[in-house]
Amino acid sequence: MFDFAPSPDCSTPERYKQLLEACDAITQGEDDAIANMANVASLLDAFLPDCNWTGFYRVAGGAEKRELVLGPFAGKPACIRIPFGQGVCGAAAESGATQLVEDVHAFPGHIACDAASRSEVVVPVKRNGEVIAVIDLDSPTPSRFTSQDAQGLEKLAEILRNRI
């Protein structure tokens, strides 16, 4: 049984190692996507310091109107629908690439759900080459997220691609 809490004062790589182990343990064998996203949003909130929002947006809509719809999260209430290509989440969904944003106020078309957010990282979750969701983390600290965060979250997306 996991404690689902990081070791105190661990390095970023070790923190992500523990997060990935916890995510794998809590989602393995569970086929309910919402339950898995809810537990992982909670794990992200517990494991990653200095975040004011951790969660998911799910891909919805047909070919003519693809958009992201709010999924499970930890944090303040958020925007419910985001069109592909708009804001950091929409850019990640449209491009299929991780978005690492040091200053969200400098990002063209940034959607401010929480005015306290200053930096953001968004990682697409892909199944069979198609984006099915994005993992979204916000922080009130500028430049909070690094390439280590992006890489750790990309590994998390790999674990989740067939579990959400």
pLDDT confidence of residue 7:
77
Give the pLDDT band (50/70/90) at residue 65: confident
pLDDT at 4 over 90: no
Are the C-beta atoms of 145 and 120 separated by less than 8 Å?
Answer: yes
Is 3 part of any domain?
A: no
Residue 89 in domain: yes
Q: At what angle do helices 12-27 and 33-47 cross, to 10 degrees?
A: 160
d(CA 80, CA 153): 22
Q: Is the pLDDT of residue 1 over 60?
A: no
Query: Is 101 inside any structural domain?
Result: yes
Q: What is the CATH number of the domain that holds 94?
A: 3.30.450.40
pLDDT at 39: 97
Closest CA to 89 of 42, 123, 43: 123
What count of other Cβ atoms lies within 10 Å of the Cβ of residue 50?
A: 11
- For residue 124, the cross-strand partners are 134
Residues 6+ apart with CB under 8 A from 131: 59, 92, 93, 96, 124, 125
Residue 91 lies in a domain: yes
Domain containing residue 46: 12-160
pTM: 0.94
* Residues 43 and 22 sit within 8 Å (Cβ to Cβ): yes
Query: Is residue 123 helix, strand or coil?
Result: strand
Average pLDDT, the chain: 93
> Would you say residue 6 lies in a domain?
no
Report if residue 1 sits inside a domain.
no
Tell me if 2 is assigned to some domain. Answer: no
Any domain includes 38: yes
Digit-coded pLDDT (tens) for 91-135: 999 999 999 999 988 888 777 777 788 999 999 999 999 999 999
User: How many domains are there within the chain?
Assistant: 1
Q: Write down the pLDDT at residue 9.
A: 85
Residue range 137-152: average pLDDT? 96
Give the pair of three-digit tokens for residue 88.
Answer: 């950091």
pLDDT digits (tens, 9 = 90+) for 111-121: 777 778 899 99
